[in-house]
Amino acid sequence: MSNASPRCLASSRPVHRTAAARLPAVAGLCALVALTAVVARPAAAQPVPAPVAADQAFRLGDLPPVAANPITPAKAALGHALFFDPRLSGNGTVSCASCHNPSLGWSDGLKTGIGINGTVLSRATPTIVNVAYNTQFMWDGRSRSLEDQALGPMKAAEEMKTDFTSMMRMLSSIDGYRDLFEKAFPGEPIGEATVAKALAAFQRTVVSKDSRFDRWLDGDRTALTPQEWRGFQVFKDPAKGNCAVCHSGPNFTDNGYHNIGVAQAHGKEDPGRFAVRALPSMKGAFKTPTLRDVALTAPYFRDGSAASLMEVVEHYNRGGDDKSNLSRDVRPLNLGRQEMEDLVAFMHTLTGRQPIVALPQLPQSPRAPTASVARPSNPVSARN
């Protein structure tokens, strides 16, 4: 869980950062369907040019193996239940899915996240889409692995504030959870390590692929419109958008940290990666997010300050706002309006086919035995 990304596309509506505003979105999960199963393809007026050899660097491959925690169906099933279970939080009201809502691109649609008791967090909630391909975790990279990251929000007092002793007692007391843990981790105890591994295994199954861009890479020259194809040329051209310098590779991220010039209020500066690795270049630097499914995860930037993808492009086009310690790759782009619109159109092609996501049936505590009340053989009437 924790910090960072988006809601639905180029929405310019104000985002209300209240716990009440988030609850309807989370309640929407209870419909058992998180996202539609079809990605619409706009009618292509004409075939676009085929990809060149260098474009294949953006092809998304198989999930990278994790020797220390290989994915199994049993681990994913357990992680699925844990991910949606609010009983893991300190007061039983917040789950991982409270911030990473599949109906909102596995983010929360808010400028910054909201934790336990309505606490407004300082950073936006990042999507967990394609987190299996990441090598860096959290906005500032403080987590060493996805397993480490999975426990981070639970240990944070402002996020889930989990009482681990009480949580382990709860999980161990429920027959259904004991069965799930035994299937996922035979012979291993229910503890922090197995909880983290199960949550990480489930998150690695959240994969966005088979986007229209991917289908174009596979040779379907009608998968993109001419405008979208032009936007990709702007995206990768160092003399134009120069986006691929950071949003590179199959997951459209270099897993690096950059200061992109997002303005910060005086006295409320976020040090970013510098708090983890005290190098001058890391002041105000944050991890490059994936662009897979980016149209589903507004608002943008680590503080949610850009309401739409066009606002993101406009930010980069003017070379950022806060010029102090700016990354050397951020500079005024001088793109025309048509080029910016083409670039936004291209980013929409990175939305993969969306699976149907069902809420798990959470294991319940055994019912307390009902006390039997002895009845007299000859009841005495109240009138006697």
Catalytic residues: 159
85: DSSP letter: -
Q: Are 199 and 336 in contact (CB under 8 A)?
A: no
CA atoms of 7 and 16, how far apart (whole Å): 12
Which residues, in sequence order, are bridge partners of residue 300? 306
Q: How far is CA 186 from the centre of its chain?
A: 30
Amino acid of residue 142: R
To which residue do tokens 């943008």 refer? Answer: 300
- Tell me if residue 306 falls in helix, strand or coil: strand
58-65: long-range contacts (C-beta < 8 A, 24 or more apart)? 58/213, 58/217, 58/249, 58/250, 58/252, 59/214, 59/217, 59/250, 60/130, 60/133, 60/209, 60/214, 60/250, 60/251, 60/292, 61/250, 63/132, 63/133, 63/204, 63/207, 64/132, 64/133
Give the Å distances, CA to CA, from 13 to 3, 272, 304, 362: 21, 28, 13, 35
